[in-house]
């Protein structure tokens, strides 16, 4: 009988999982920065669910626009 190794116990599987974790962390940081900047600007905060559905590039555009409104 053939036994398959669970993907999370393979080197390739562990690398893929780590890539997913890293991308999730990056996206979470962008969302946190967007919401913090909105709070700082006294704006209505975009719901997390709406932001989660956006790509990292879309989130970067939103954050850049918000940051441009800060007079630093």
For the chain, give the mean pLDDT. 93
d(CA 25, CA 60): 14
Q: Which residue did the predictor score with more confidence, 47 or 70? A: 47
- Cα separation, 72 vs 59, in Å, equals 21
Tens of pLDDT along 22-50?
Answer: 999 999 999 999 999 999 999 999 999 99
Burial class (CB in 10 A: 0-12, 13-18, 19+), 54: middle
The reported pLDDT for the residue numbered 72 is 63
What predicted TM-score, i.e. pTM, was given to this entire model? 0.80
Please say if the pLDDT value at position 71 is more than 90: no
User: What is the Cβ-side half-sphere exposure of residue 20, based on CA atoms within 13 angstroms?
Assistant: 7
């Amino acid at each position: 009988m053939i036994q398959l190794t669970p993907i999370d116990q393979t080197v390739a599987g562990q690398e893929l999982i780590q890539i997913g974790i890293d991308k999730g962390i990056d996206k979470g940081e962008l969302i946190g920065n967007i919401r913090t900047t909105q709070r700082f600007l006294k704006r209505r905060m975009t719901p997390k669910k709406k932001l989660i559905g956006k790509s990292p590039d879309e989130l970067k555009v939103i954050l850049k626009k918000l940051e441009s409104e800060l007079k630093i």
